[in-house]
Structure formats: C-alpha cells, structure tokens
Amino acid sequence: IEEGQGNLSSATQRLEQVLRQAPAFAEGHGNLANMYMRLGQYTRAEAALPKAMALRPDWPQVHNNLANALKLQNRIADAEAHY
C-alpha cells in the first residue's frame, strides 16, 4: 500500500521488518530486491536476491533480476552467468 502511495523508502523499511519476522518468505526477498533496484541501491538488491534464490531455486525471474543488478554495477561478466 505504501509503495503505491509513492513512499517507496517507507515501504522498503516495512518489508525489511516483515522479513526479519518471516525470513523464509522468498517472494518477500524478491520484492525487497526490486524495491532496492527502484531506489538505485543495486548492491543491496544483489544481497537480497540470493536469499530468494536459495528459498525458490526454480524462480527464473530472480536470476534475471540478479543479472540486472550486477549489470547496473558494470559487472557484466558476473551478470552474464545469470541471464
């Protein structure tokens, strides 16, 4: 809801709180990484995505998102491994 209201930073903080209480919520880690990407926090997105991949290894979008986060950090060779 907060994200839809344009308060992405606040929504990100709330999702971080949720994940501290429910660390096995794969989609939450994936969503958190997407929020970090929208905030331009690519290293934080990169850190959140492996958590989602470990919980849901069959989720191809997470690999693509990790590749994008790496690419935006000019780590092209690392990114290619995830596309």
Tens-level pLDDT at each residue, the chain (83 residues): 455 556 899 999 999 999 999 999 999 999 999 999 999 999 999 999 999 999 999 999 999 999 999 999 999 999 999 88
41: left (phi over 0), alpha (psi -120 to 50) or beta: beta
pTM: 0.86
Residue 75 — left, alpha, or beta (φ > 0 → left; ψ -120 to 50 → alpha)? beta
